[in-house]
Chain A
Amino acid sequence: AQTVTQSQPEMSVQEAETVTLSCTYDTSESDYYLFWYKQPPSRQMILVIRQEAYKQQNATENRFSVNFQKAAKSFSLKISDSQLGDAAMYFCAYVSWNNNAGNMLTFGGGTRLMVKP
């Protein structure tokens, strides 16, 4: 079974600075996708960024970028120029794209990010 681990229950960053959230996963599949989701107090999961495992290039979305290390099974999220609105729970998630398996997301335990003004 696939597992996703986020080793940092809480992280804190000063506004305008950079913070990196860690994620590791375990899988024997070769074709999969990785995601970072943000969950504010409203509870709705909001997609931050995604990475296809077959792509070597790290994904970027404005202030958000990932460091995808496939061999190490590591997928960290870097938030640059942190803003007060970035404060939320962040979840790393994995999905195997195997036609014989359900394409459901497996989530890590989450990291609470606090942004200090």
Chain B
Amino acid sequence: SAVISQKPSRDICQRGTSLTIQCQVDSQVTMMFWYRQQPGQSLTLIATANQGSEATYESGFVIDKFPISRPNLTFSTLTVSNMSPEDSSIYLCSGLAGLGYENIQYFGAGTRLSVL
């Protein structure tokens, strides 16, 4: 299993500023992901965080807006840059732990971001 810790758990930010969200896993995971979720709604994949290389972004998300780092197998950061109220959302970190078909996706508790 894996326990995923995110911080901050919530933040209120001003328009035009940036926020970096940290994600720490207590064990090695093969893959790490960042999602966005509106309360009570489904998850939208932002990107796959790749260790030591550039993240792989989904359609509609770009590196300049959501730079991601993953320096090792247990840590990743997501930065929300030049924020606007439309960026207000819950940001979830996730990791795949286990081997092959037995791997399971674990999630952090999320970061609730409000942009004023």
A and B co-occur in one complex = no
Instruction: Give the B-binding residues of A (Cβ under 8 A).
Output: none
